[in-house]
Amino acid sequence: MSILLALDSLSATEALAARLAQAAEAGDIIGLTGELGAGKTAFARAFIGARLGVSEVPSPTFTLVQVYENENRGAPVWHFDLYRLEKAEEIFELGIEDAFDDAICLIEWPERMAEHAPEDWLELHLLPGDTDLSRRAALTPHGARAAQLIQHIAAPDG
- What is the tens place of the pLDDT at every residue in 107-116? 999 999 999 9
Of residues 1 and 66, more confidence is placed in 66
Contact in structure between 81 and 61 (CB atoms under 8 Å): yes
- The whole-number average pLDDT for the span 118-146 is 94
Contact in structure between 94 and 64 (CB atoms under 8 Å): yes
Write down the pLDDT at residue 154: 84
The rounded distance, in Å, linking the Cα atoms of 138 and 6 is 9
Write down the pLDDT at residue 155: 78
pTM comes to 0.91
The rounded distance, in Å, linking the Cα atoms of 101 and 67 is 14
Range of the domain at 52: 3-93+102-154
Helix, strand, coil share (%) of the chain residues, nearest 5 = 35, 25, 35
Report which residue type is found at 41. Answer: T
Write down the pLDDT at residue 89: 92
The rounded distance, in Å, linking the Cα atoms of 40 and 139 is 13
Q: What is the CATH number of the domain that holds 57?
A: 3.40.50.300
Write down the pLDDT at residue 31: 97
The tally of domains found in the chain comes to 1
